[in-house]
Structures are given as structure tokens and as C-alpha cells.
Chains A and B, each alone.
Chain A
């Protein structure tokens, strides 16, 4: 559907009867109306990326043939195209394609507020392109996808997810949803939740909680703000996830988010709010273990700074105190010829010391902090760890390590 081989054949068949359109509507999962004022072409509001706009660039004629066919079928009076803000440059080639089918289209910019188009038929441009392809007798079984920001292409139904995204991923983000690795063999067919077609793989090194927090924050900035669950729900989830990544999660936060996400999904007024919580749902199901770890202040990918503990492996420290010199926060106690000690309370987790240490003695953990000396130990007197496994031995100070947190 990115290009139609025989566009003239499609154009020739533009006059559909209602029945045929109803069939096409069922096939392409779009609204079937018997009559409408206008045919309104719009992306889903949930599609904040707009990759699918490529169908206008690659196949504007196909889109317009499909739109005109729909217009004829339901007796609409005109065609209106809603484009995202800043896509004014699309007007020229859409106009050209419209001229091809003897139409003049009207343009509106921004999101599609459904209420304003109550008397119209809202249809996706890709669906129009598919209708045109169908008229030309061409194969319409497939989706336009874009994997990891590469050139968009058409994936045929029956393809496995792993065939286009590989199988070496922790998760894939499709639209606003996150799917875990367990879905790698999922078959892409008409029922596959393809969302906006934008697929991004998430590697094992990435933290899904942090990623979700970023996704939600971005969505919060894009919500039109008209209905409560979407607007205020995103605000709450954004704050809660941010709190969790900052180790400030509260006991009931997961149940709280679940309640909001469910309400958003069921009762938001448009696809934006209905799908906005998708990544959170994944956190609460497929990625529950990782999420729960975060509630225990542990980030297994070491991406959530507040959950990290930097410490100096005594067995590796040679006492050159480079770490001490680069620390901007004076969080490292000791000096030359000492086994230095990082004060976990003062440490701002910037990681500068890690690169400064030639011995690689500075380690990062998340979760339980290993036992480290309470204060710096002079290298000559200190117990140099003989064991090679890096086990930390405490200097005989007789004092208990202070715990401030």
C-alpha cells in the first residue's frame, strides 16, 4: 500500500456501493457510516510520531483514490485532511493527488477532536490507501512499520515479530505499548496491536521503569487535556514513576497506577488516552519483577541513579587518590596512600570517579550496599585483600559503619 502498481485501475473503480464500503470498513477495522457530511482523513490521536504520514509522501494518489471512493460510497460532500502541526509542506502533493481524482481538499492542523466531526466519517489515510489497493486488486494484507528508526516498509501478515525486530531484545516499544521478549514469536496479522507502526527495540541494558517514566512524561506533554482520566491520570502516573525512579515510591503506588491506567484505557475519549497507559500496563504485568525491584530501590540495569551505590573495592585500590581529586562533591574520604572510602550519603552518583580510577576499583551496585570500611585505611597498615575474588575486608577500626540512610 505504499505504492499502488495500477493506480488507474483503482481510479476507474472508484464508485463503490454502500455495501462494498461496509465490507471494506469491516475488513480494515474502520467506522462504517451510511452517510456523512465530509470524509475526514486523520492519523489516530495516539500517534504522536506521525511515521504513517509517509503514506502521503509515497502514495498520495492512492490515499486520495481511496478517500474519493469512500466519499462516493457514503455520499459525503467533501474531503478534509487533518495534519499534525508543522506539516504544511504536505499540502502541495496532497493537493496534486486530489486534483488527480478531481477533488479539492480542506486542511486542518492539530489533533482530531472527534466531537467536532460528529457528522463526518473519520478515516485513516493508510486505510484509504488500502481501499485503493483493494480496488486495484492488489494485496492489502500488511502494515506499514518502521523498526528502530530505519526506512518504513510494509510487513506482510503472517510475519513473526522476530523477523523484523530480531529476537535479541528485552522489549519492543510499539506505539505507546511495551511488549516483552516473550512476544518475539508473535505473528503480525490483522489482530496484532500495531498502533502507529513505530517499533523500537529495547535492549537488556535499558531500564524499563525509566523508559516508561520518560514515555509517560512525553505523553503528558501531548495530552489535549480535555478529559480527566487522561489529563490528570497522566499527571499522577508521571509523578509517581518519577518518584519511583528517585527511590521515593510509596507503598500503594503500583495498585494506584493500575487503577488509573485501567480507567484511562476504558474511559478516555480518544485513542490517545486509551493507549497512553500501555507501557505502564506492561510494567505491572510482564515487567512486574523489575518494577517491584524498583520499589525496593534496586535498578538492575543501573540506570536509576538514586538507587546506585558507588564503593571502592579495597582489593583493587592502590591509593593513588585520583578518585578523590575528581569528586566534585567531596564525597570521597581519604587521600594518597589510603584506601579511599566513598560516603554513600554525600555521593551524587555522577560516576566521574569510575573513569578516573586506573585500577577500575570503583564499583557500582544497586540494591543492597556491600560492607565497606567506615573510614579510609592507610595502605601500609591496611589489610590488603589477598583473595582475588574481590571480597571486601574491613579495616580493624572497631567502629561500626555509620548508616545515615
Chain B
């Protein structure tokens, strides 16, 4: 350590550091622009002048190394003159329209102008005349606003090692851009955002507009949209590095049923993935699946939080993803938990809804059993008839029964024999029971459940299967891969069909369904469907079985005091998951309608937090299981990064899969998984870059 004096204040500084860094670290502000704490200094902006006692001239402090006993002045007339000259020169070529700049109020240049109080009045002003470059994904380049501080170039080259940005000459002006002014994708940009992060002005900026509070969520949308806020960039990075146990531990910090989710998660994260602006989103679900499959549990197994017994008793109704997740965390908080499940096994829809060719049951059993092994008392084949009476026996009750009753559409002929409901059919198929399926099947509905029904029917031996729905093909809610795979298996899909009636034969059995083609299908302002049918398009399809797959609801009868919401769901407080009856909580599908497994798990966690608080705990169920991750800022070059294709999972051929319940989708294979994870733009990496401080932040603590 050396000791120097800055403006009469004695400060300690590390040997070899610059006077600027030493002063800023000690809370003494020296005006600067091209300096950034994380980048090498280049003395480009000529603003950070100081005068060292005994030296002839002022010097720029960013490239002035501290020496023991140095006496430094940061302000005098000569320094002021040099600084102002530099700023005036910079401003001579900078547009004056601050108020229309997206960086207004967050601009370091604007901030510095205010501090120095300069205007380029004696300068020959000029406009650089560059066009706004908005052909790149994610980032806008408005190089008219550039002050050539070179931070982006240094960030791209030295901090990241991507080496895309450089100084280019364009006529009389210098412009930062890729070699030969190529588009970023063609110059092998990694879209890490370091350039936008360090840009002091509005020159290189995110196309997304956000407030400071929104920044994390907007710029790392996968993590923000995940209902459980799983730290996706973190586990994707671990997978890229081949650290699957670490990745699995990251997932375990926020989720139960992680391997199940690897198979069937609705992956809203992929829908928001910023990589899709470059070419295609990262295959996040398959990455998670791979990590969960390869996981040996070395980081989390046995290291979970376990609090001593509290003596409080909780009853959870329903052993689905929501109920079992809540039970698991409540048990770990030290409460005695009893789960009452109507069916013979746990897992809810994972066990009895989603067909086994999509969701192998051994995985469901394995993950559910692990949670139960924490000491959850589980009672199967126990349908709770009277919720209110449980209050006498338990300190808290959680209703997590999901939506297990299919919806029958009010239409002509819906009382015929041979009509099945989605949930009943899938449950019977899962349990190996008689389903009542015939040979010619029509499934009504266009969601994933409809395709689960159709493809299950195929596997059970139905000869002709049709799926018909109201929505046009591009509006169908089922995943594209479901619709495509169904087609490959020989299932007929009929989008945009109005269901006219179900035809019956003489015995009252289903004989077919009558349809009319739909021209347009919209909703009015009261959310009522408006259907425009095509004249003369009436047609009939013969069938002996009709499966309704048009939604499901909870089967709760109205014989209790609990307040209800839409479609007989249970009304709860959004955050606390409390119902209108004290001590009774509810979570999962039963509270908000049919959503996804990951939402149920996230909701189960919320319920556990709330119930724990209600029972006198602190409500903190969070766990740190994964080791700390060292994020390497130097991501380096990758030729063709922007064009790297999303890896496709290995899927059995239609002939191999259509007559059995074997697993269809094998995920991404060993050789490709790390490559797929490496396609991640690492949107979280830029948050490791130090935020530049304003002059008004200095001297406060001193």
C-alpha cells in the first residue's frame, strides 16, 4: 500500500493502481468518461486531469500510477481549462437533442455536462450523419451519439474476448462497429450485452426499454417468466461446463419434480428466451432434463434444510405437484404433514393425466417417493368428503386437489353412450382400467390434453382417430410438436370446426359428429365467442366414441363455507393462498384453473411459505444447494455463434411409437447437450459488470 494525498485528504492506495482509481475508491470524485472500473484505462477522453505537486503540467489521472507521498490536486484553473476543452470538443460532434434520447436521465455524458457546466458554444458544431442501425437483434446502434470513449470496444475485446467491435473510419468520422460494418450476427457477436452495459451514452443500447427496477427481469426474461423463478442462466451455464450435479442443484433450489419437468414443463422460459431474436430460443427444458437425468445428487441430496419438529399438524388434500410440493417444504420446516390422496398413487396429473409415453411413471414415482421419504404421512385412496371437519384435527389444511373433472359441452346428443371425458379416459388408461373406447374416435378440443387423448386412443388400438377443434390451426393451444407427431401417427386433425351435434344410432350410441367449417372465430368485448360459419359446409364424421377434451374443473361440491371464484374454483388471496376460512389454504389448479405443472409447484411453494408463517415459522423455505458459480466474463470468440441451430431432441419414429406407451422423446443426446447450453446468450453475465457511479454518489459516505 502507498499513501497519497488528494485535495488535502490522505488516502491509502494499492501499489500500481492509478491515481483515478485510488481517488474514486476513496470516495473522491475526479470527472471521467472513458474510464470504467472493469476496463483497462486508455486515457482517451482527456477529462480526468489532475495536478501532481512538483510536476510541470497537469496529467490524466487514469494512466498515472500512484507513488508514495504523491500530493495531488484535482481542481485548479488549468485543469479546469483542459477538462472543459475536452468536453467542448466531445460535444461539438454530439447531438443536442437529449430530451428525445432513450438514455435521457441515465446518460453519463449528460451527467458529466451538468457537473462541468460546459456548452460547445465556441466550437464548430457538426453532425456525423450516421443512420440509426436497427437491423441487429436486441441492440440499437445510434452512432451519432457516440463519443468514442471506446468502452464498448474494450468490453468486447478485452473483457469478453469476443472481438467484434472495433474503430472504423467512415469518411471524416470514426465509427464503432464490426469489421467492414457487418451486421453483428455475421461478425460472430455473442449478444452478451456488455457493449450496451458499459456505453455511457445512448449510442449502443438495448432495444428493450426498461426502468432500473425492471432491468433484471426484462434482460433475463427466462428466469423472470419461470413461475418458480428458477435460475435458468445459472444451470444452463453449469450444463455447458459439463457440471450436471451442480446444474441439478440449482434447479432443486426452486423446484421439486425436476426430472418430470424436464419431460413435460410448459417451458414458458423458452418463449421469452432472448436468443430467439437471434435465431431460435435455447432448448431450456431439454437442458434441464439432461441435468436431472445425469444428476447423482451429490450437491443436494441430504443437504436440504430440515428444521426440528414444531408439533404443528398440517393436512394436505391431494398429492399432485402442488400438494406434494407444499407438503415436502412444510415437512422440512418441521411440521407434521398428512397428505390425503383420493387415488392409489401420488403425482396427480403427472401420474393420471399426462400419458406415460410422454411422462414415464417410474420417474414420477421416484421423485414423489423422495419427497415422501422426508416423513410425510400419506394416505392413499382417501377422498376427503368434509374439508371443514379436518380443521378439528389439524392446525392448517391445504386444498390442492387440482382439476380432475372433465367438461361436457352442452350440445345435442351429449347424453349418448360412447361419450367419454378427457380426464376419466386418461386416468383409466393410466391405471390400466377399461376405458370404453371404440374403434372410430373423435376427440373434441385443440389443446395438449386433446392430443394426449387422441394419441392414447391410438396406442389403445383405435383404428380411426379425428381431433376437431374450434380454433384455426395457428391458434390451437397444443404444442406444435404434439400436433405434428399426432399427424405422423395417422391421426386426422380438423381445425376450425363448429360442433353441431352428436349423432346417435337406434340404440342411443354415438354414431358420429356433425360439423360446420368456421370462417372466423373471435371474442367480443364481453369475452363471448363470435363464430362465423361457412355456408353449405355441413358435414358428418362417423364415430363410435367421442372424447370431450374441452377443459376441466375441480370436483369440489359446494357443501362447505369456502368462498368460490370462477367456475367453482376456490377463491384465494394471490400471495398468501388463504381462503375465506381461517386455517384453510388452497393452491394449484383448484384455485386458478388448469395451468401447468411448474405453476403448481411454484404455487405449492408459496402455500408452504404462507402456512409456515401461519404456524409460527419464519416462512423462509429457501435453500442454497448449488455451489457458487464462477462466471467467466471472457466468453471468447465462436465463429457462427448467431447461426448455431437449436439442437433437436431424438424422437422415436411414428411406426416405433404409435402402438405402445414407450417413451417417445429422448431429449438431446450426450454429444450435443453442452453445445446446446453454450447457445445461451448468458444474459445474466452483464450484471457482473460494475455500474458506473455518478458524481453525486461521491463524498456522501465521507
Contacts and interface: CB of A to CB of B under 8 A. Distances in A.
A263 interface: yes
A227 interface: yes
Given A227-B42, A260-B85, 8 more contacts: A228-B148, A231-B148, A235-B172, A239-B124, A256-B122, A259-B81, A263-B86, A267-B60
Interface in A39-55: none
Interface of A: 115, 220-221, 223-229, 231-233, 235-236, 239-240, 243, 252, 256, 259-260, 263, 266-267, 269
B44 A220 contact: no
B93 interface: yes
B89 A239 contact: no
Interface string B121-164: 01110100000000000000000000010100000000000000
A223 B167 CA distance: 11
Contacts of B122: 252, 256
Contacts of B60: 267
Nearest to B149: A228
A235 B124 CA distance: 9
Interface of B: 40, 42-46, 57, 60, 81-82, 85-86, 89-90, 92-93, 122-124, 126, 148, 150, 167, 169, 172-174
A233 B88 CA distance: 10
Contacts of B167: 224-226
Top 4 nearest A-B pairs by Cβ distance? A225-B174, A232-B89, A239-B124, A227-B44
Contacts of B82: 263, 267
Contacts of B90: 228, 232
Contact of B169 (A225, A227, A260): A225
A267 B46 contact: yes
B124 A232 contact: no
Given A259-B85, A263-B85, A267-B60, A228 B124 contact: no
Contacts of A228: 44-46, 86, 89-90, 148
A223 B89 CA distance: 15
A260 B84 CA distance: 11
A235 B46 contact: no
10 contacts: A223-B174, A226-B150, A227-B43, A228-B89, A259-B81, A260-B89, A263-B46, A263-B85, A266-B57, A269-B44
Contact of A229 (B42, B57, B89, B169): B89
Contacts of B40: 115
A250 to B, nearest CB: 9
B124 A236 contact: yes
A161 to B, nearest CB: 30
A10 B565 CA distance: 97
Name A's interface SS: helix
A232 B92 contact: yes
Contacts of B81: 259
A330 B88 CA distance: 44
A399 B90 CA distance: 52
A226 B85 contact: no
Most chain B C-beta atoms within 10 Å of own C-beta, residue among A115, A227, A243, A266? A227
Given A228-B44, A231-B148, A267-B46, A220 B89 contact: no
A115 B85 contact: no
Contacts of A231: 148, 174
B502 to A, nearest CB: 76
Contacts of A269: 42-44
Given A229-B86, A260-B85, A267-B60, A236 B123 contact: yes
Most chain B C-beta atoms within 10 Å of own C-beta, residue among A231, A232, A240? A232
Contacts of A233: 89
A274 to B, nearest CB: 13
Nearest to A243: B124
A229 B43 CA distance: 11
A236 B42 contact: no
A259 B43 CA distance: 19
A266 B85 CA distance: 13
B31 to A, nearest CB: 13
Contacts of B89: 228-229, 232-233, 236, 260
Contacts of B174: 223-225, 231
A231 B150 CA distance: 13
Contacts of B148: 225-226, 228, 231
B18 to A, nearest CB: 14
A236 B150 CA distance: 21
Given A260-B85, A263-B85, A236 B92 contact: yes
A269 B43 CA distance: 8
A243 B125 CA distance: 13
A235 B125 CA distance: 10
A114 to B, nearest CB: 10
B124 A240 contact: yes
Most chain B C-beta atoms within 10 Å of own C-beta, residue among A235, A239, A260, A266? A235
